[in-house]
């Protein structure tokens, strides 16, 4: 293997959205740093099954207006 081409792995603490923590090894940040998650498997709809509709810039309203005559609700 070539020397000095591999990233430096070190331990960081990860804080989940509910406040629970765990330690993992990563190339992110500096050794001993804390990574705070905004979205994780406990809060993201892909894992929880809860769907929240976020309308950014009126896209949902625009879609509904465009396809209102299809008869689907």
Name the phi and psi angles at 11, rounded to 5: -90, 140
Rounded alpha-carbon distances, angstroms, from residue 69 to 45, 58, 62, 73 = 29, 19, 13, 10
Answer yes or no: are the C-beta atoms of 15 and 39 closer than 8 Å.
no
Whole-model pTM: value is 0.55
Q: Which residue has the higher pLDDT, 34 or 72?
A: 34
Mean confidence (pLDDT) of the chain:
83
pLDDT digits (tens, 9 = 90+) for 36-72: 988 887 777 777 777 666 666 677 788 888 888 877 6
């Amino acid at each position: 293997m070539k020397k000095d081409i591999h990233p430096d792995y070190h331990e960081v603490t990860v804080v989940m959205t509910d406040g629970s923590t765990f330690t993992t090894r990563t190339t992110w940040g500096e050794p001993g740093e804390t990574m705070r998650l905004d979205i994780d498997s406990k809060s993201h709809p892909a894992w929880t099954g809860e769907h929240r509709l976020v309308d950014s810039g009126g896209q949902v309203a625009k879609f509904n207006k465009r396809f209102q005559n299809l008869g689907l609700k």
